[in-house]
Amino acid sequence: MPKMKTNKSVLKRFKFTKNGKGKLLAGQIGVRHGRTKLSRKKIRNKTKMVEVPKGMAKHIRKFLPYGGK
CATH classification of the domain holding 49? 4.10.410.60
**Domain contains 17:** yes
Residue 36 falls inside a structural domain = yes
Residue-level pLDDT, tens digit, the chain, 69 residues: 899 999 999 999 999 888 767 899 999 998 889 889 999 999 999 999 999 999 999 999 999 888 766
Q: How many CA atoms lie within 13 A of 45 on its CB side?
A: 5
Query: For residues 14-23, b (16+ Cβ closer than 10 Å) or e, as one string?
Result: bbbeeeeeee
Residue 69 lies in a domain: no
CA distance 33 to 21: 33
In a domain, 32, yes or no: yes
Domain-located, residue 67: no
Q: In this structure, is residue 1 part of a structural domain?
A: no
Domain presence at residue 53: yes
Which residues constitute the domain of residue 23? 8-62
User: How many domains would you assign to the chain?
Assistant: 1
